């Protein structure tokens, strides 16, 4: 008996199976190369975000806010729906960061991969957006440069699929630390961007409080805080986080402020500019020294800024209220002078003028040399 020809549906099924097998074969042979190719694409996309952020805080603040809100929404979905078929109870969702195992359903694995991919792209956008602001606010060779270096490493890690998917997202502690550091850096910039005229230290402390709260909401159900013991633990850790930010403020650049130009010279003109800008001068030419610094304040002047004159790293004079003179638009021009009895007997050495907030955060540094 002659068999009937295959139906159109069976033909489509055969074609689908063939394409699927072909795709699996390509992925098995070139999957690692495609992984790295996507990483290079993500890095290029991050560079474009950096270039966009160069337009300034006023142009990009709403982009940053939308990124944070979208990211928090994804975290909420991740927490509610879980990452695998074997969901934990709502009372203890801490382990939901862990990826589903091979025993879980394909749908659960797909949900986890989608969540990871979306999170990764949001991380990339936030971190590369933050980098230029922190870079400009940091001072090379000081403690706050370490914060920028860590931010750069996190941005790079977010573009490397092998690192992010296989290392960070598979270890709950690493994922939580990555989560917290990114949120802290983002909120430190967003608070003064939204609430202008805010002291940078207040923004830093507020960012620390939000970061600790976000950490707890990721790992613990809101119901758990109905217990007095858990609520006391939450309040205690928030206070500890705020105190850590307060005492560790020297490690964090005072975003979004930065020094656009700084110079020192022996005399000033009537309009507040220096008659000449010097980087090296002889002791015989010194009767007085004048420092002029232009500080860009895109979020307004919420801080009192001081000049601290140093010789060989030791404070020589602290000008608690440097004169403010008219400068370029969007900047605060500070001017201070040292001379007479305030000058040390031994003038030769490496000098610097630090621009600091009243809370001790370093905004920028001007270095010059005095020779004999």
Reported as a single tens digit per residue, the pLDDT across 43-102 is 565 555 655 555 666 665 665 676 676 666 556 555 554 443 333 333 344 444 444 454
Cα gap 214→263, rounded to integer Å: 43
In a domain, 63, yes or no: yes
Whether residue 186 sits in one domain with residue 72: yes
Alpha-carbon gap, residue 244 to 99, rounded angstroms: 32
Which residue in 372, 362, 366, 354 sits closest to 277, CA to CA?
Answer: 366
Domain boundary among 217, 251, 285: 251
Round to whole Å and give the CA distance between 370 and 278: 10
Three-state DSSP string of 336-369? EEEEHHHCCCCCCEEEEEEEEECCCCEEEEEEEE
Quote the CA–CA distance of 34 and 28 in Å, as a whole number. Answer: 10
Residue 330 inside a domain? The answer is: yes
Q: For the CA atoms of the chain, what is the radius of gyration?
A: 28
Q: Of all helices (H) and strands (E), which one includes residue 137? A: helix 106-137
Nearest to 252 by CA among 333, 357, 334: 357
Q: Which residues lie closer than 8 Å to 275 by C-beta, 6 or more apart?
A: 265, 266, 267, 268, 269
The overall pTM is greater than 0.85: no
Are 184 and 246 in the same domain? yes
Least confident of 6-15, 33-42, 158-167, 313-322: 33-42
Top mean pLDDT of 17-21, 91-95, 132-136 is at: 132-136
Among 226, 251, 276, give the residue marking a domain's end.
251
Same-domain pairing of 60 and 143: yes
Res. 129: pLDDT tops 60: yes
| 125 and 267, same domain (yes or no) | no
DSSP state of 6: P
Calculate the dihedral angle through the C-alpha atoms of 100, 106, 107, 109, rounding to the nearest 10 degrees: 30
Domain containing residue 242:
27-251
- Last residue of one domain, picked from the residues 232, 251, 270: 251
Residues 46 and 189 in one domain: yes
Residue 10 lies in a domain: no
Q: Exposed, middle or buried, 33 (CB in 10 Å: 0-12/13-18/19+)?
A: exposed
Section 115-119 average pLDDT: 73
Q: Three-state DSSP class for 263?
A: strand
Determine which helix (DSSP H) or strand (DSSP E) holds 323, and give its type and residue range: strand 323-325
Kindly state the tokens that stand for 113.
């991969």
Would you state the pLDDT for residue 91?
38
């Amino acid at each position: 008996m002659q068999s009937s020809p295959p139906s159109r549906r069976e033909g489509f099924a055969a074609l689908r199976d063939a394409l699927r097998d072909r795709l699996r074969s390509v992925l098995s042979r070139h999957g690692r190369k495609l992984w790295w190719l996507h990483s290079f694409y993500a890095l290029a996309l991050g560079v474009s975000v950096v270039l966009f952020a160069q337009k300034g805080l006023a142009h990009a603040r709403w982009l940053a806010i939308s990124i944070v809100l979208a990211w928090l929404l994804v975290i909420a979905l991740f927490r509610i729906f879980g990452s695998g078929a074997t969901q934990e109870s709502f009372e203890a969702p801490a382990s939901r960061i862990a990826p589903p195992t091979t025993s879980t359903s394909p749908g659960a694995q797909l949900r986890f991969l989608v969540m990871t991919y979306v999170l990764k792209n949001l991380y990339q956008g936030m971190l590369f957006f933050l980098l230029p602001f922190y870079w400009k606010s940091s001072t090379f060779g000081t403690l706050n440069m370490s914060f920028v270096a860590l931010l750069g490493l996190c941005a790079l890690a977010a573009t490397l699929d092998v690192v992010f998917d296989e290392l960070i997202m598979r270890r709950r502690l690493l994922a939580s630390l990555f989560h917290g550091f990114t949120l802290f850096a983002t909120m430190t910039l967003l608070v003064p961007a939204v609430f202008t005229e805010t002291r940078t230290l207040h923004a830093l402390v507020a960012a620390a409080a939000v970061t600790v709260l976000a950490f707890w909401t990721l790992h613990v159900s809101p119901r758990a805080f109905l217990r007095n013991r858990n609520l006391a633990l939450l309040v205690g850790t928030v206070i500890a986080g705020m105190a850590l930010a307060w005492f560790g403020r020297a490690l964090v650049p005072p975003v979004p402020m930065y020094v656009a130009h700084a110079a020192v010279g022996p005399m000033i003109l009537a309009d507040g500019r220096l008659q000449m800008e010097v980087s090296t001068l002889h002791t015989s030419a010194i009767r007085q020294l004048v420092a002029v610094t232009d500080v860009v304040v895109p979020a307004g002047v919420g801080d009192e800024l001081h000049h601290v004159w140093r010789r060989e790293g030791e404070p020589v004079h602290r000008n608690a209220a440097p004169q403010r003179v008219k400068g370029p638009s969007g900047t605060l021009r500070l001017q201070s002078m040292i001379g007479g009895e305030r000058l040390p007997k031994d003038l030769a050495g490496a000098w610097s003028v630090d621009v600091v907030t009243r809370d001790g955060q370093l905004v920028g540094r001007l270095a010059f040399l005095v020779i004999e």
